[in-house]
Structure 1
Amino acid sequence: MSSMRVSGEGLVLGVALDAVLGDPKRWHPVAGFGRVASAAERHVYGDSRARGVVYVAALVGGAGVAGVVLERMSRRPLVHCLVTAGVTWAVLGGTSLGREGLYMARVLERGDVGAARKRLSHLCARDPRGLDARDLSRAVVESVAENTSDASIAPLVWGAVAGIPGLLMYRAVNTLDAMVGYRNPRYERFGWAAARLDDVANWVPARVTGGLVALCSGREAWRVLRRDGAKHPSPNAGRCEAAFAGALGVRLGGVNAYGGRVERRPEMGDGRAPEVRDIRRAVRLSAAVTFAAAAVVWSVR
C-alpha cells in the first residue's frame, strides 16, 4: 500500500473524526502548543524582526521534527493511517468553527445581541461594541468564510503534500499568526515573520477554498471570486470571502473596528447585507466545502 494512499485515507478518516467528535475536550495538542509558544515568547521576545524569525523558526521547526518522528514511528500502513487520522483530527477545526457559528445564530435568532457580542471573540478579533444584529451577522459570515480555509482546507492541503509533518507545521504557523501576527505596537516587528509565513502557507489553500465553494454552489461564486477576490487587504481572506459572498448572494466587506483601529474594506458581492439567517447557510456551506475537500483527497490518494 503506497504512502500516498495511506496518508489520504488517514486524512479522510481524520475529517470524519472531526465531524463526529469536534475538538478534543481536554489535552488539546494545539492548546498545548500554544502554551509552549507563550512560554517561548517570554524568553525570546524583543521588538525586532530578527527575534521574531528565531521564535517562529524554532517553534515551526520543532513541530516539523515532531511530525518526522511520528512518521518514522508509524511505518506500518495501518499504524500510519491511524496516526495520520489522529493528527488530522487534532489540527482540524471545522466542526468547532461550525459550532461557534451556530451558537451565534441561535443567540441572534432570539434577539440576544449582548450574548452575541460577548461570544464574537471566539471567531474574530473585531471590536463588538456598538455592533447590531446585522453587523454581527456580517462578522460571523466573514469569519466562517475565512476560517474555512484556515481550519479545514489548509491542513488537508498541507497534509496531502507533506503528510504528518505538513499537518503539524501548518497548524504551528497558523497558531503563531493568531498569537503574535498583529499590527500593534508589541507585535508589529516581532510578529512580522509569523504573519508573513501564514500568508505564504495559506496562499494555495485559500484559492483551493474559493474553487471548492464555487464547485459546491455554482457559477455566481466563481464570478464574484474572480472579480472581487483581490480587493481584500489580505492576500488570502478575500478569496474565501468573495466566493462565500457570491455563493450566499450577500455583500461582504465594509467598516470594521479592531481595538480602536478602524478599517474600511472594499465590498465583495452584489447582494444584500447579510442577515442572521445567512449564518446557518454559511456554516452549511463551510461543511460542504470541507467534505468536498475530503472527497478530492480520497479520489486522488
Structure 2
Amino acid sequence: MILVCGMLLDAIFGEPRAIWSRIPHPAILMGRIVGWCDNALNHGDNRRAKGAAVVAVLCGGALAIGFALQAIPTAIIDVLIIAVLLAQKSLVQHVRAVADALRLSVGDGRMAVAMIVGRDTAQMDQSAIARSAIESAAENLSDGVIAPAFWFMIGGLPGLLIYKITNTADSMIGYRTPRHAEFGWAAARFDDLLNLIPARITALLIWAVTSRANPQPILQEAPRHRSPNAGWPEAAMAHGLGIALSGPRSYEGQMQDFPYVNGDGTRALSAVHIDRAVQTLWKTWALALICAAIATLI
C-alpha cells in the first residue's frame, strides 16, 4: 500500500510552499545537476557520447540513492518520496490556473499558459490557450503521475528515481536544437523508452473514465503524433472530450503546421473545456489509485 499512500499524500498536499520555499525541491536539485552537466560538457567533439555518459552516470547515481533509501527500515521514507516526486495536485493547480486566468481575459490566459508550455504564447487566442493547457494536462498526467507510479511499482525507489532523473534530463536537454541535438540524444531516447508503456496506460485510463466505447480512433491517431508517446494521452483526451488538439503552433517565432488530433472535434475551446480536462485528470488519477491498490493486493 506504499504507492497508494504516496499518491494520496500527493493529491492532498501537493507541493507545500512552506517546505519548498525553504529547501530546494528534489526536482530542482535534479535540474541543477543536469544543467551543470550541460554547461560543463556540452561542447567540443563527441557530444553524443558525452551526453550518453551523463545519462549513464545520472541513472547510476539515482540507482544507488534509491537502493540506499530503500534500505532504511521504514515505509514512511518511501511514501514521502513518492508524494514528493508525483505531481497530480500541482498539475491540476497549474492547469486550473489557466482556466481561471482565461476567464479574466485572453491576456491573463496567455501569461498563465506560458508557465506550463514551451511554445510561443504572445499571439494565442482563447482556443489556442485552452488547447495548449489541455495538451499539457494530458502529457504531464503521463509524465508526472502515471509513469513515476508505474516505475515505482516495477522497480521501487530505484526505478522511480531513474525515471525522474531521465525525465528531468529530457525536459532540459532532450530537444532537437543545434545545442542539444547531439548532447541530449541519449536522454531523449531513454526517456522515450521509459515512457513507452506508461503513455499507453495513461491513454487506456483516460479512455476508460471518459466512457468512449470505441478506442479505434485513438489507436489510429496516436501513432501519427510527432512524439512516440505524447500522442497517446493526447489522442485519448481529445477523443474523450470530443475536442480537437494539437494543430498548428509557433515555436521561437516559427509556425509549425502540425495536424490536428481528432480534427473533427470541437476547435472553438474555452475555459469550460479546461475544466472538463481537469475533471478527467482527477477521474484518471482515481482509477490509477484503484489499480495500484488492486495490484498491491494481488
TM over 0.5: yes
> Aligned equivalents of 1:184 and 1:24: distance in 2?
35
| Counterpart selection for 1:167 from 154, 160, 169 | 160
The answer to whether the 8 A contact 2:247-2:261 is kept is no
The yes-or-no answer on 1:275 pairing with 2:247 is: no
> Aligned equivalents of 2:139 and 2:85: distance in 1?
17
The answer to whether the 8 A contact 1:154-1:205 is kept is yes
Structure 1, 116-125 or 205-214: larger mean CA deviation: 116-125
Matched residue, 1:219: 212
| Counterpart selection for 2:250 from 228, 241, 257 | 257
The answer to whether the 8 A contact 1:221-1:247 is kept is no
Question: What is the Cα deviation at residue 42 of structure 1?
Answer: 2.3
The answer to whether the 8 A contact 1:254-1:265 is kept is yes
The yes-or-no answer on 1:290 pairing with 2:285 is: yes
Structure 1, 244-253 or 45-54: larger mean CA deviation: 45-54
* 1:226-283 CA-partner distances (Å, limit 9, x unpaired): 2211121101111111100111011112101111333222222232113221101111
Matched residue, 1:52: 51
The answer to whether the 8 A contact 1:221-1:244 is kept is no
Give 3-state SS (helix, strand or coil) of 2:119's partner.
coil
The answer to whether the 8 A contact 1:158-1:170 is kept is yes
Matched residue, 1:3: none
Closer, same or farther: CA 24–37 of 1 in aligned 2, 3 Å: farther
Closer, same or farther: CA 158–221 of 1 in aligned 2, 3 Å: farther
Matched residue, 1:4: none
Tell me the TM-score normalised to structure 2 length.
0.92
Tell me the TM-score normalised to structure 1 length.
0.91
Amino acid at match of 2:66: G
Amino acid at match of 1:15: M
> Aligned equivalents of 1:93 and 1:140: distance in 2?
16
Taking the TM superposition and a 5 Å limit, the aligned residue runs for 1:148-167 are 148-167=141-160
Structure 1, 90-99 or 114-123: larger mean CA deviation: 114-123
**Where do 5+ consecutive residues of structure 2 fail to align?**
none
Amino acid at match of 1:271: G
Matched residue, 1:32: 29
> Aligned equivalents of 2:178 and 2:251: distance in 1?
14
Percent identity between matched residues is 35
Question: What is the Cα deviation at residue 221 of structure 1?
Answer: 6.7
> Aligned equivalents of 1:223 and 1:63: distance in 2?
39
- Runs of 4+ aligned residues of structure 1 deviating over 4 Å after TM superposition are none
The yes-or-no answer on 1:17 pairing with 2:4 is: no
Matched residue, 1:147: 140
How many pairs are equivalent?
Answer: 287
The answer to whether the 8 A contact 1:181-1:187 is kept is yes
> Aligned equivalents of 1:130 and 1:220: distance in 2?
37
CA RMSD, 1 decimal = 1.4
Matched residue, 1:5: none
Matched residue, 1:61: 60
Question: What is the Cα deviation at residue 24 of structure 1?
Answer: 4.2
Amino acid at match of 2:86: L
* 1:157-211 CA-partner distances (Å, limit 9, x unpaired): 1010001111111111111111111111111111111111111110100000000
The yes-or-no answer on 1:90 pairing with 2:87 is: no
Give 3-state SS (helix, strand or coil) of 1:229's partner.
helix
The answer to whether the 8 A contact 1:87-1:167 is kept is no
**Where do 5+ consecutive residues of structure 1 fail to align?**
1-8
The yes-or-no answer on 1:110 pairing with 2:104 is: yes
Question: What is the Cα deviation at residue 115 of structure 1?
Answer: 2.3
Amino acid at match of 1:272: T
Question: What is the Cα deviation at residue 220 of structure 1?
Answer: 4.8
Question: What is the Cα deviation at residue 223 of structure 1?
Answer: 3.3
